[in-house]
């Protein structure tokens, strides 16, 4: 079972509590900044990474590396018997859900 959480805090708490399954955090903040349609994936990720790096004060390559991990997790989700999304009713979670 794969659990996709809306952040590291929830994912970490569930891991520490021994809740069964694999726990991952979906960290993309699609509610903030550009998310243009029609771009090849590499260009889209570069644009998002540049924006988030500026916003968070971190290096864009680190964000691209993190996005690659999210993509790997999502691509492998079909290998799980069940995928559970742990999202809330707030804008951040609802945009990610859409």
Reported as a single tens digit per residue, the pLDDT across 4-17 is 999 899 999 999 99
SS3 of 30, please?
coil
pLDDT tens string 73-98:
999 999 999 999 999 999 888 988 88
- What are the structure tokens assigned to 7, written together? 């952040």
Residue 23 lies in domain: 2-97
Alpha carbon distance 1, 21 (integer Å): 5
Domain count, the chain: 1
Q: Which helix (H) or strand (E) holds 66?
A: helix 60-75
pLDDT tens string 45-59:
899 999 989 988 889
Please state the pTM of the whole predicted model: 0.81
Q: Check: CB of residue 92 under 8 Å from CB of residue 31.
A: yes
Q: Which helix (H) or strand (E) holds 25?
A: strand 22-25
First to last CA, the chain: 22
């Amino acid at each position: 079972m794969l659990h996709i959480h809306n952040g590291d805090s929830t994912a970490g708490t569930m891991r520490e509590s021994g809740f069964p399954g694999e726990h991952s955090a979906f960290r993309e903040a699609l509610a903030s900044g550009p998310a243009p349609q029609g771009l090849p994936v590499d260009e889209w990720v570069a644009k998002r990474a540049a924006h988030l790096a500026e916003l968070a004060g971190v290096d864009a390559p680190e964000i691209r590396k993190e996005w690659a991990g999210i993509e790997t997790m999502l691509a492998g989700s079909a290998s799980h018997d069940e995928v559970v999304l742990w999202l809330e009713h707030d804008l951040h979670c609802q945009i990610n859900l859409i």
